[in-house]
Each structure stands twice: as C-alpha cells, then as structure tokens.
Structure 1
Amino acid sequence: MKDLITPIKDEKDNNMLHMVAKSVKQNRFQNVSGVAFQMQSELLWFQEVEKMIPPNYRERKNKDGKTPQDLFTKTHADLLKDGGEWMKNTASQCMVVATLIATIVFAAAFTLPGGYNQNTGIPFFRKEPCLIIFVIADAVSLICSSTSVLIFLSILTSRYAERDFLESLPRKLVNGIATLFLSIVTMMIAFSASFFVLYNKKVEWVPITITGLAGIPVILYVTLQHGLFRDVFKSAYQTRYLFKRNKRVLYY
C-alpha cells in the first residue's frame, strides 16, 4: 500500500514530499517547547517521509519549478529565523549567568576562609576537611561555569543552518544547561563549606542553617527549569527514536 501511495501527485505535480515541505498548522507545535525545536520536528518529519518515497522523486520539481527541498527551505524560512533568534536569546541569557558565577568563584579561590599566614602564605585551615571541600567545589564550579560559557558562545557563533537544528544546537544547549546547573550546585557547596570552616566549634547551627538556605537556589533552578531541560534533552538525544517502532509488524 505504501508503494502505491508514495508516487501519487496532485494537479500541480506536488508529490508526498512536496506536501510535507509546505507550512504546517500551528496546532502541531502545542507540545513543542521553543521555536528551535519546532524547526527540529519539521526537519525530522521531512526526513522521515523522504526515506519513504522513491529516490528519484526526491529531486522532482513541481509546476513551479521547485524541488521538495527548495519548497521546504522557502516555507520554513520564517521558522528558521525565529528558531535562530530563540536559540540566541536563550544562550545569551544563560551565558550571562555562567559568566557571573565564573567571576564569583574565581575571586573566591584567592580569598580562602580563615585567611593566610602572613609569613609563609599558607592557609591557616589547610588541614581542615571543610576547607578541602571548599577548594574542590570552588574549582569544579569555575571549570563548569567556564565550560558553560564556551558552549553558549559556540551556540551564538553557530551558522544556524537547517541541519544544525537536528542535533548540533540541541546538544550544545543541553550540555550548556547541564554544566551551568552543576556550577550552581558546586558554588553553593563551596559557599556552605566556607561557613563550616569558620563556625565549626560551638556554633554549628550557623553553618547548618546557611547550608539549608543555600539549597534554595538549587531547588528553584530545578523547579523552574526542569521543563525546559527535559524538552531540550528529549530533542537532543531521543528524537532519533521518534519514528522507530518498538515492535515490528508484518504489514509495515
């Protein structure tokens, strides 16, 4: 049945791939977060139908002299532009946060809790486990935030071609958001560890209370951004299985 349907053309010589290349209804985008991922879903659907039709039909022109790919590029020009703008704005905002975190933790690395010995330059609490945790968490936060900045910078300098929206841009975005989240977590760990270094004797309730409060930004980040991160992760790593069947059937 599939082989009988795919070669059918309309009065304007549009085959099945031409029809897919045309603009789609907006109600198909209701469950897609972000214009960039709407563009990705259109590309995936176009490629899937492209695999179904005979190879010689993929380059056939309609009465307007357009191939399916030409028609797809023309009808999705606005969506491609909007997707690029959405990706740029998202990357720019996340990059500002990552840069701010990198600046903070970089400065904190040279101002260790408790200070230094003026004669030797060695930290007073160098043997304290909490200070070691502070140093490690601060270093991890600096590395992750710097990595996040570079990832978002690569998004801003991308070509924003059609094929980039399939895997390249979504994967960069999910990796940037993940490293940004890790930098926030480790920054809060370093912040909490610094109070355990200074108040670890008779007033332990102070660092414990501050540690509890330090978890609020992390919880807020997860609560507010988990939807975007879930959608970005699905678009980056699970779209390859979108049109694959879980079970094979005889009539496919």
Structure 2
Amino acid sequence: MNSGLLLTSALIGTVNYAAVFTIPGGIDQDRKSPYFSHPILYHSPREKDLLLFLWYTGVGLFSALLALVAMVAIQLSRFCSNDFYMALPFRFVAALTSLFVSTVFTITACFKAYNILDIKFNINVFMGPAFYVLCLVYFDTVYLTLNYMYFALRCSFSYKGQEMSETSELLGRVF
C-alpha cells in the first residue's frame, strides 16, 4: 500500500509543481511594459484570486512533499518488531494526512483556476461530492490504524500504572 501511495504523492507533487510555474493568464512578455515578466493578472482586479491560487498550489506542493518524505521513511524503515507498535502507524497516519491535505488543496486550486479563467460552473455540484468522497476514503483508510494506536496507548498507560503500583508495593515491603 505504501508503494502505491508513494507514487500518488509523487504525481500530486509533480502536478502542483507544474501548476506553480504555469500561472493562469500567463506572464507579461512585452519588454516595454513596466510589469515585464510578471504575471498578467498580478496587477489587475483578479490579483487576489491569483494569490489564492498560488497559495493553494503551494500548500498542496508542500503537503505532497511532506507525504512523500514520510512514505520514503516508511519504505526505508528497518521493520523491527518494535517499529510496528507506534513508529510505523504514526508515520502512516502522518503520510496519509499529508496526502489528504495535498489532494484537497490541489482540487481547490483547480477550481480557483477555473474561477480565474471565467469558466462558469456550479462549484457545489463538483466540490461537495469530491470532498465527501475524499473524506470517506481518508477515514476508511486511517480508522483501523488510529483505533489500533488508541488501544495500544491505552493498554500501555494502564500497564504502566499497574507496574507502578506493584513497584510501590514492593518498595513498601522492603522499607
């Protein structure tokens, strides 16, 4: 599963990287313009939309790279028996959360680009079901791991509590 998600996060990161440098509206190529080599929409009424688009793609790129690093850390793990208790499940949840965030921000950047280019459509028809399906897939994937981590921590703390009470009883008997 990690290999497939590694490929997915690499593809999402590639798409976001390309989107950062292919700005909607293009770049001003007129050498006589005072805004030469600036985005055309940067000094226009759509400047706020363009900055939001760049922010969405930047967060999507950062999250995809974070997911990629977390999945490479899982792939390069030693896979000792102790790693399976908390280290690998925590890395898995962190990687999936980063991948979820990057997917949401990539979809949002896509819709913002449509908005910038004046492509009219009802965003609620597309964004609502897309976000709903993404949430279902995310929680379905992460639920069992989070449930395991919760019970492992709960048992760990309850065992430590018993261990401390047994230790204090032994110390009471010795002294």
Tell me the TM-score normalized by structure 1: 0.55
- What number of residue pairs does the alignment pair up? 152
Aligned to 2:101: 182
- How has the CA–CA distance of structure 1 residues 185 and 217 changed in structure 2, closer, same or farther, with 3 Å as cutoff? same
Aligned to 1:125: 41
The whole-number CA distance in structure 2 between the counterparts of 1:111 and 1:212 is 26
Aligned to 2:14: 103
Kindly indicate whether residue 75 of structure 2 is the aligned counterpart of residue 166 of structure 1: no
The whole-number CA distance in structure 1 between the counterparts of 2:150 and 2:51 is 36
Give unpaired runs (5+ residues) of structure 2: 31-35, 167-175
Equivalent positions of 1:47-66 (< 5 A) are none
Q: Which has the larger radius of gyration?
A: 1
Equivalent positions of 1:92-241 (< 5 A) are 92-119=3-30, 120-127=36-43, 128-199=47-118, 206=120, 208-210=121-123, 212-237=125-150, 239-241=152-154
List 4+ stretches of structure 1 deviating above 4 A: none
Percentage identity across aligned positions?
Answer: 23
One-letter identity of the residue aligned with 1:109: V
More helix by share: 2
C-alpha displacement of 1:157: 0.7
Deviations 1:152-199 (A, max 9, x none): 011111010000001100000000000000000100111111111111
C-alpha displacement of 1:210: 4.6
Which secondary structure state, in structure 2, belongs to the residue aligned with residue 216 of structure 1?
helix
CA RMSD of aligned residues (A): 2.2
Deviations 1:177-228 (A, max 9, x none): 00000000100111111111111xxx7xx1x425641443332222233122
Deviations 1:31-58 (A, max 9, x none): xxxxxxxxxxxxxxxxxxxxxxxxxxxx
The question of whether the paired residues in 2 share the 8 Å contact of 1:113 and 1:198 is answered with yes
RCO higher in structure (CA 8 A, sep ≥6) = 2
C-alpha displacement of 1:151: 0.5
